[in-house]
Amino acid sequence: MVANPEIKFTRVLVEVVGIDYGVGDIHEEASVRVVLPSWNLGQEFAFPVTHVNDWNLRELKPGDRLLAEANLAAETSDELLMKDFEKAPPPTEHI
């Protein structure tokens, strides 16, 4: 991704809805399907698994939550950019 100083990124919660493996088992062509509730709860997005290679892909499963930087001002899914993925901390219960 080419750095564009006009694009503003915001830290967001991302939910994993599926993992599509490439040919064979874990492969560099694999992709992660997610929803970005703060942008469009009803739309899935896919990105290469190489974006989240900081941890073992075998540990990633549907329902997991990630944190990422996203440009929420994007008007279409083609304009939506996400970067700097990391596992989100577990949710806390409110009393």
The one-character DSSP state at 25 is S
d(CA 45, CA 64): 15
Could you tell me the pLDDT band of residue 26, with boundaries at 50, 70 and 90?
low
Give the residue numbers spanning the domain of 41. 8-13+36-90
In a domain, 22, yes or no: no
**What is the pTM assigned to this prediction?**
0.76
Longest dimension (CA), the chain: 46
Q: Which amino acid is at 21?
A: Y
**Tally of domains within the chain:** 1
Task: Please tell me the predicted confidence (pLDDT) of residue 23.
Answer: 65
Task: Please tell me the predicted confidence (pLDDT) of residue 13.
Answer: 94
For the segment 47-88, what is each residue's pLDDT rounded down to a tens digit?
Answer: 887 777 555 667 788 999 999 999 999 988 889 888 888 888
In a domain, 62, yes or no: yes
